[in-house]
Structure 1
Amino acid sequence: MKALISIDYTNDFVATDGALTTGDAGQAIEQSLVAVTKMFTENKDFVVYAVDRHEQNDPYHPENALFPAHNLADTIGRKLYGNLAKVYEDSREQANVYWLDKRHYSAFSGTDLDIRLRERKISEVHLVGVCTDICVLHTAVDAYNLGYKIVIHKNSVASFDPVGHEWALTHFKQTLGAEIVE
């Protein structure tokens, strides 16, 4: 069984005026990311929207020292970007679609994602979203350490750092044994 984990494809990470935007790189993957998400949703595979959620002025969150405030609860910046928002709205009531608030880079860190995947007998995770070298990477590393087969949709991941993006794609394949698909 397989699942799709769609990571952080929100206004703050993708829109031109987003707080921590991937800009053109993130916008360029929209069509591919939406197509992959629709395919998984329509096939009734498990689809997880793993979305960063932060609180304004949280003194305990380590990202506050590294990045500007982003994906703040109850803001437009945290809403899904572009056509993915419609795909989610049209499918959110389906049993195979799950919204996951995450606090850390990895969708597994401090969440029930591993439990939800295992109870569905899922052994293969497909990853799409942003940023390739941050949240997608950390989710992939945790998936690897938990024994999942990893598939990265190359045309559906992006970063604001082109060098980091390319490095992460190589790392997925050579160090985590991930399958990279177009």
Structure 2
Amino acid sequence: MKKALLVIDLLNDFMQEGGALYCGAAARRVIPVVVEKIKEYIAQGLPLIFAMDAHDPDDLEFLRYPPHCVYETPGARLIPEIAQVIEEYPFVIKVPKSRFSAFFRTNLNNILRDLSPELVEVVGVCTNICVLYTVEELVNRDYKVVVLKDGVASFDENAHRWALEQMQSVLGAEIK
């Protein structure tokens, strides 16, 4: 089966203590799950797509959230646990994004159209923000979507559970 793994925002500012928008211990717990899934994809020669928050220093989003993931800063980089695993893998596609959905003003739609996966598996943070809004767009483009429940997290456990329920019951994504 042709499939792609979409990894959302596993970046230092979200995943590391002291990061500008640190998502907490729940986010740290997804790292081993995501690393294992990445290794599985690498072993099969399958595409890895990294949706990566990347903002200009004066981004208007900073009126709502503290500055985070500013271009070319350490906070905007993939966490070391992932960067090391993918370092020499040639089928890595990085998609910088500046809003919740990984489709907003990015080339993700074209990338997926070219790859034409039968399945898109999704992991990352935050479940109720960037994961949810990206999954909504995937579903609206008629992709079969599986969200790995142990591979997603949020700083807000209630919102995390709510988003998983919405993705399953409203959007029809499989929660696995």
- TM-score normalized by the length of structure 2: 0.95
Conserved? CA contact 1:41–1:97, under 8 Å: no
Percent identical: 38
Aligned length: 175
* 1:148 and 2:143 matched: yes
Residue 10 of structure 2 is matched in structure 1 by 9
Structure 1 residue runs of 4+, over 2 Å off?
Answer: none
Residue 65 of structure 1 is matched in structure 2 by 63
| CA shift digits 1:102-148 (9 cap, x unpaired) | 11111111111111111122132111010000000010000011111
| CA shift digits 1:8-49 (9 cap, x unpaired) | 001100111010011211111110011111111221112101
Residue 46 of structure 1 is matched in structure 2 by 47
**Aligned partner of residue 138 in structure 2, secondary structure:** helix
Residue 175 of structure 1 is matched in structure 2 by 170
Where does structure 1 lack aligned partners over 5 or more consecutive residues? Answer: none
Q: CA deviation at 1:66?
A: 1.3
- Within 5 Å, which residues of 2 pair with 1:154-173? 154-173=149-168
Distance 1:51 1:88 in 2: 15
* 1:28 and 2:29 matched: yes
The structure 1 residue matched to 2:103, chosen from 90, 108, 114, is 108
The two structures, once aligned, show a CA RMSD in angstroms of: 1.1
**Aligned partner of residue 118 in structure 1, secondary structure:** helix
Where does structure 2 lack aligned partners over 5 or more consecutive residues? Answer: none
Distance 2:158 2:80 in 1: 26
Distance 2:86 2:116 in 1: 23
Conserved? CA contact 1:32–1:156, under 8 Å: yes
Question: What amino acid maps onto 1:65 in structure 2?
Answer: L
The structure 1 residue matched to 2:118, chosen from 123, 136, 139, is 123
Q: CA deviation at 1:88?
A: 2.4
| CA shift digits 1:63-100 (9 cap, x unpaired) | 21211000011111111113112112232xx1x21111
